[in-house]
Amino acid sequence: MMREFQCRPVVRACMVSLGWALPAVTAWAADAPTPVESELPAVVITGNPLRSQNLAQPAQVLTGNGLLLRRAATLGETLDGLPGVTASWFGPNSNRPAIRGLDGDRVRVLDNAGASVDASNLSFDHAVALDPLVVERVEVLRGPASLLYGGNATGGVVNTLDNRIPSDTLAGLSGRAELRAGGAAREKAGSLVLEGGSGETSGSFNWHVDAFGRETDDLRVPRFTPVADGVSAEPTTRVRNSAAQAQGGALGVSWTDEHGYLGAALDSYRNDYGVTVEPDVLIRMERERLTLAGERRLGGGGFFTQINGRASHTRYQHQEVEGTGEVGTTFRSSGQELRLEAQHAERAGWRGVWGVQAERLDFEALGTEAFVPGTLTRNLGLFALEQTRWGDADISLGLRAERVSVRSEGDAPSAEEARFGSADERRFTPVSASLGGVWPLGGAWSGSATLGLTQRAPAYYELYANGLHVATGAYERGNAELAVERGRHVDVGVQWQQAGGLFKANAYVMRFANYIALEASGRDIAVEDEASGGTTKVPEYVFHAVPAQLWGLELEGRQRFDALGWRWEASSTFDLSRGENRRTGEALPRLAPWRLGVSLSAQRDGWRGSLGVRHAGRQTQVPSGDVATPSYTLWNASVALDQRWTWGQQALDATWFLKLDNLSNTLAYNATALRTARELSPLPGRAATVGLRVTF
């Protein structure tokens, strides 16, 4: 079904132009020295408005060649394998990041530090409305970031940055283009980014434009036996209904001077993709967003030294189209966000940032499979983060208070079946606080610790769901009596770093007094079966507040050395997460097993190559209703060549790359995936991806 779709004319023209232009440019290839990426540590922006070099909270930054070789069709797959980070893997198209065993409404996905309005937290088969193709940088905060981003950042934050509103003065014309093809889904993808400006420090007009397109076929995997509704099908090497097509673009402008910037951007995203658990259902997703952003650095010795602001309006819709072409269910969201931050000058040894954040989400679901009523969620948060030096230690202290209201519209007057009752509204006042520190331990060692108290208001679906959720194969009921989810968090880490070497270790414990969990009630509910025209029974699951605990360990290290005329780097990662319902003693659902990754890379004269292996242990820590996931070992390799080209007076930096994934074609299943999808969609099989990136 997906193969019949054609790219929209603008994206097709973009990809055709790139396909003609980039090979032609190779005529100007020269053996000029290859640019070397800086080895200076990147300063994390997310959750770090004061630009501190030392963060108590574990963070990861992907950019440059590191992001180029990890880039995948979805954000979750791009980040999978980072310490503590996994993907929900509802097939190759619906992949949301999960951090430290938490997913859904407990992990905040941001777009340029603003809310990414979509329905991906509502259901596993709903994709994140972001494509990694034009993303320049991804930052991941592991552990609670509720202080700056709200209660639904309890597990962590993933922030994508793309410079669609230029914040720095641009001079002349610059940009980048990328083409890639291959992979287990036979991907064909391309992107083009152009930027420019007048370059005047006294005042510069800057602009940004980008476009991208991506097409994939059904995912190819090692031979396996699909299981749907408990029934085994014929063995196959393809994941059914997993093809996709996505395209989008953006236009942004800004005015910059020596005191800051002010700008706006308009972006559009489309994604048509199949749902693996339903063989003939296609999701048509659309998102448009208008964003305003600015920064002003203040002089004159006043109390505040800098003010930052961002506002956005987003319209989101996706339709679930049946095999007959009829629209079964339509999900619509309209979201607005306003965020203001003000940094103050140092007073009595303290410097900090104060802020306010307001959000509004108007959601509705229309159709036969709508299991949530129309809702309106409002959130107003006030926060403050202060930092100081105490001896040799960097100390941070923060507080956030929110006012959240969630209103259900109840059943529509024309509804044939009364499921959601009358209109209802709940109000919550979550409060979060944190205390963190980083201090030297002697030599190249340093230590860090974070203590946190987080509170999260229940999401609209946790309160008001009432219906069959096809993606989970269960009848889900919300609980309008739920209270604020409360958690306490401890994170302790040590780090050793010197020239060419790095070692990090973090251990954490998260203890929830009332963790909102979806649990089986033990009852079956009769629902209509469209295929037979009769009824069928499905298990009932209800949202409850239970005591829960999660703990884990994350290790990462690397060492650089020179040998045989090459620059080498050996690196490794290890993570382990455990969680349990303290009331029943059962494991929490969809936890990743212990994972170990080891790689060796080398570079010389523009050439770079790597060989890595990732092992995931057998996951036996599962709740009732789930089954153990076998262990697996995946081998991967890559080769890249950096070149400097010249075209008249213009210098172009080119990177050719080849990625080889799952070299042994091992059959592997993702333990963090919902069982409904896991048994229909293993991880990708052996595949090769080739590509070219050109920057100028």
Q: What pLDDT score does 4 carry? A: 38
Give the confidence band of 215 by pLDDT, cuts at 50, 70, 90: very high
Q: What pLDDT score does 13 carry? A: 34
Q: Which of 221-225, 299-303, 359-363, 378-382 has the lowest mean pLDDT?
A: 299-303
Of 94, 186, 236, give the one whose Cα is nearest residue 676.
Answer: 94
Other CB atoms within 10 Å distance of the CB of residue 349: 10
pLDDT at 40 over 70: no
- Rounded to whole angstroms, how far apart are CA atoms 285 and 578? 35
Give the confidence band of 416 by pLDDT, cuts at 50, 70, 90: low
Mean pLDDT of 131-157: 89
Structure tokens at 223: 């031979």
Mean pLDDT of 88-94: 91
Residue percentage of the chain with pLDDT more than 90: 70
Is residue 661 exposed (0-12), middle (13-18) or buried (19+ Cβ within 10 Å)?
A: buried
The secondary structure of 619-675, three-state, reads: ECCCCCCCCCECCEEEEEEEEEEEEEEEECCEEEEEEEEEEEECCCCCCCCCCCCCH
The residue whose two tokens read 């070789």 is 69
Q: Are 373 and 383 in contact (CB under 8 A)?
A: no
Q: What pLDDT score does 31 carry? A: 33
Q: What pLDDT score does 532 carry? A: 60
pLDDT at 32 over 70: no
pLDDT at 412 over 90: no
Give the confidence band of 29 by pLDDT, cuts at 50, 70, 90: very low
pLDDT at 369 over 70: yes
pTM recorded for the entire structure: 0.89
**Mean per-residue pLDDT over the chain, rounded:** 89
Mean pLDDT of 66-84: 94
Of 346, 347, 370, 372, give the one whose Cα is nearest residue 361.
Answer: 372
pLDDT at 348 over 70: yes
Q: What pLDDT score does 553 carry? A: 97
H helical segments located in 252-383: none
Of 73, 154, 158, give the one whose Cα is nearest residue 113.
Answer: 158
Q: What pLDDT score does 538 carry? A: 85
Give the confidence band of 116 by pLDDT, cuts at 50, 70, 90: confident
Q: Which of 54-58, 186-190, 272-276 has the lowest mean pLDDT?
A: 54-58
Give the confidence band of 537 by pLDDT, cuts at 50, 70, 90: confident
Give the confidence band of 100 by pLDDT, cuts at 50, 70, 90: very high
Q: Which of 515-519, 579-583, 662-666 has the lowest mean pLDDT?
A: 515-519
pLDDT at 1 over 80: no
Of 401, 385, 393, 494, give the one whose Cα is nearest residue 434.
Answer: 385
Q: What pLDDT score does 621 carry? A: 93
CA atoms within 13 A on the CB side of 438: 16
H helical segments located in 344-435: none
Q: 38 Cβ partners below 8 Å, 6+ apart?
A: none
Q: What pLDDT score does 20 carry? A: 32
Q: What pLDDT score does 37 carry? A: 41
660-664 own/partner pairs: CB under 8 Å, 24+ apart:
660/636, 660/686, 660/687, 660/688, 661/183, 661/184, 661/634, 661/636, 661/686, 661/687, 661/688, 661/689, 662/184, 662/634, 662/635, 662/636, 662/686, 662/687, 663/635, 663/636, 663/637, 664/633, 664/634, 664/635
pLDDT digits (tens, 9 = 90+) for 617-654: 999 999 988 899 999 999 999 999 999 988 877 889 99
- Rounded to whole angstroms, how far apart are CA atoms 543 and 14? 47
